[in-house]
Structure 1
Amino acid sequence: MSLNHHITKIFCEFQKSIDNEQEIRESLPRPQQLRNKTVIRSICKEVDQISREATTTLQVIHHDEAEIPAACLKARELFEKANAGYVRLREAVPVTDYYKYQDHWRFMTQRYCFLISLTIWLEKGILASHETVAAILGINAVENKEGFHLDIEEYLVGLLQLCTELSRLAVNAVTRGDYNKPLQISKFVMELNAGFRLLNLKNDHLRKRFDALKYDVKKIEEVVYDLSIRGLSNKSQDGDSPVQD
């Protein structure tokens, strides 16, 4: 088979896919498409606002240790509201159009992955699994070709955001006189860092976020090193391995 014939065959297959997608897109009347987009935007706006409230609620972790349990409880209540929103979103998005509308909820979902993972770490000191995060949001964890689901890349970006937040918490914990928290954070983030290094990341956005992880690791290492040379580190480290919830 000649090279030109091979290329022609490949691009003919591409054209078939394009034609199929176009047929699906045109199967809905134009007003229906516009109505779907308007509904999706409206739902995403409501759910995104809840995520902002949860973000504000959890900021207490940086200045008041005693308020953390109450903040986690409040965050859980907000996640339940977000769950209801995601159920509506799932119903509004046609099963074949997940990737068509994904940009409407991509960054919002990444934030929820971060917030849920942070809450579970604060409560239990463990890593929230992909399945757990999806269950809390009320969506499917399995990435099918069709249907609404929690994209694994959105979950991973949320974990990278978690590492950034924990590096900040390591610094603020020392300011509060909590010298054991940075050790717990260090163990957790180091193990997550090792896990990410096993991945062959091709997504540009995810790759850039992973490249920034080294700065979070460096910040945490500096905090732990400073505690060590000052003799402030607790030898009995309580940081458990990031076992999944």
Structure 2
Amino acid sequence: MDSENLENINQMLEQDAELREKIKDQVTEFDKKTRVMTGLLNKIHSTPTNQLPALLDSVQPVLYSCSDVTAEIADLVPANQFWRWKDTWCNSLRNAVFVATLIEFLRSESLMTIQQVSDILGIQPSWKDRFVLTAEDYLHGVISLVNELSRLAVNAVTMGDFEQPIKISNFVKDIFAGFSMLNLKNDTLRRRYDSLKYDMKKIEEVVYDVSLRKLAPSTRDA
């Protein structure tokens, strides 16, 4: 290789390394935010139901602030290079999906759509070749939501909330039914989907125990 070619290659390598570090710095910031949110939300397992709104209100501003980070990342990624860089931030993004969907369930007992999550994270349609929320990352976040709800079903009973496991059971059954209609070709995603069966079983055992003992208001007259 001649000297000019070598110089061009060196410049390309340096630019690539510089870009990687800049993206990594923003992803680190994204990670910090998701860790703060998941740490706060872990308190749902020891927080009475009537105090949950205040807890969720404390997490919401951090969730909204994630839009600043996604914008920074989108600005850094060159056009048409989404697939080259997506693995850098996919874990952070999946955690953000988990947080957003968990908050939505605890507020309204409904599942936030992929578009709603994208909107709350400030992801713009114009970023489609640089930074997007893929269906795969969204589904990973939803599976994490179910994992957390199976734990909550048990802890809710410990705190004397016997209605929550029933609500969780209905919600998770609906999600499982939706997953069963998807053609999952990603091996990791398919394995995680299979784990939902264990979560459902765990939740159903809690609901069965609550129903058998007629602890929930809706089961006392049954």
Query: TM-score scaled by structure 1?
Result: 0.81
**Which deviates more, 64-73 or 107-116?**
64-73
2:114 alignment partner, one of 110, 130, 147: 130
Q: 1:211 to 1:141 in 2, by over 3 A?
A: farther
Of the three residues 201, 204, 215, the one matched with 1:218 is 201
Q: Which amino acid aligns with 2:84?
A: K
Where does 1:40-119 land on structure 2 (aligned, <5 Å)? 40-65=23-48, 66-119=50-103
Q: Quickly say closer, same or farther: Cα 1:131–1:100, change in 2 above 3 A.
A: same
Moved over 4 A (4+): 141-144
- Tell me the distance in 1 between the aligned counterparts of 2:181 and 2:15: 44
Alpha-carbon distance between aligned partners in 2 of 1:234 and 1:221, rounded to the nearest angstrom: 17
| 3-state DSSP of counterpart to 2:217 | coil
2:86 and 2:131 in contact (8 A); partners too: no
After superposing the two structures, state which structure 1 stretch, 135-144 or 218-227, moved more. Answer: 135-144
Report deviation, 1:140.
3.8
The alignment covers a number of residue pairs equal to 209
Matched to 2:29, the amino acid is: E
Q: CA contact under 8 A between 2:53 and 2:107: conserved in structure 1? A: yes
User: Contact 1:167–1:220 at 8 Å: present in 2 too?
Assistant: yes
Q: Which runs of 5+ in 2 are unaligned?
A: 1-8
Rounded to whole Å, the distance in 1 between the matches of 2:21 and 2:152 is: 39
Q: Residues 65-109 of structure 1, C-alpha deviation per residue, up to 9 Å, x if partnerless?
A: 243212211211101221101110111111211111111101111
For 1:43 and 1:148, how far apart are their aligned partners in 2? 13
Give runs of aligned pairs for residues 145-224 of structure 1, distance below 5 A: 146-224=129-207
- What are structure 1's unaligned runs of at least 5 residues? 1-25, 237-245
SS of the equivalent of 1:235 reads helix
Inter-partner Cα distance in structure 1 for 2:25 and 2:178: 37
Aligned equivalent of 1:232: 215
Aligned-pair distance for 1:142? 9.2
Q: CA deviation at 1:217?
A: 0.2
CA root-mean-square deviation: 1.7
More helix by share: 2
Q: For the structure 1 residues 133 and 141, does the alpha-carbon distance in structure 2 shift closer, same or farther, using more than 3 Å as the test?
A: farther
